[in-house]
Amino acid sequence: MSAGRSDAEIMAERMAVVLEIGAANGARQRAQARLGGAQIDLMRLEDAGPEYLAAAQARDAAARAALAEAAARIEALDGRLAALDRELAAVVRG
C-alpha cells in the first residue's frame, strides 16, 4: 500500500482487481468443465487400450492443475481486494 493515495486511485485499482477476479473465475469455470469432460472420458475408456486411458489421465491431470492454479489466483486476488478495502476505509475515515 502506498501512503497518501486518494480514494479515487484506490477505487481504480480495486476495479481492476475485481475485473481480474472475474477473469480468474471464468478460467476456473472452464477448468471445471474440462475436468468434468476428462472424468467422463476416464469412465468411458476404462476398458479401452492403455494408450487411450493414459491420454484421458493426462487430460484429467491437466484440468486438475488448471483448476488449482485458478483457485490460487482467485485466493491471491481476494487477498489483494481485502487489502484495498482496508486501505480505502482508512482513507475515507481520514
Asked whether residue 68 is domain-assigned, the answer is: yes
The pLDDT of residue 17: 98
Residue 93 lies in a domain: no
Residue 2, in any domain of the structure:
no
Quote the pTM value. Answer: 0.80
Q: Which domain holds residue 26?
A: 7-86
User: What integer pLDDT is reported at residue 3 of this predicted model?
Assistant: 58
Q: Given this model, what pLDDT does residue 1 score? A: 45
Q: Is 92 among the domain residues?
A: no
Question: Which residues lie below 8 Å from residue 24, measured CB to CB, with a gap of 6+?
Answer: 70, 73, 74, 77
- Taking only the tens of pLDDT, the chain with its 94 residues reads 445 899 999 999 999 999 999 999 999 999 999 999 999 988 888 777 788 888 889 999 999 999 999 999 999 999 999 999 999 999 998 7
pLDDT at 45: 84
Q: What is the pLDDT of residue 6?
A: 93
Beta strands in the chain (DSSP E): none
Give the angle subtended at the CA of 86 by the CAs of 23 and 3, to the nearest 5°: 105
| 45 belongs to a structural domain | yes
Q: How many domains are contained in the chain?
A: 1
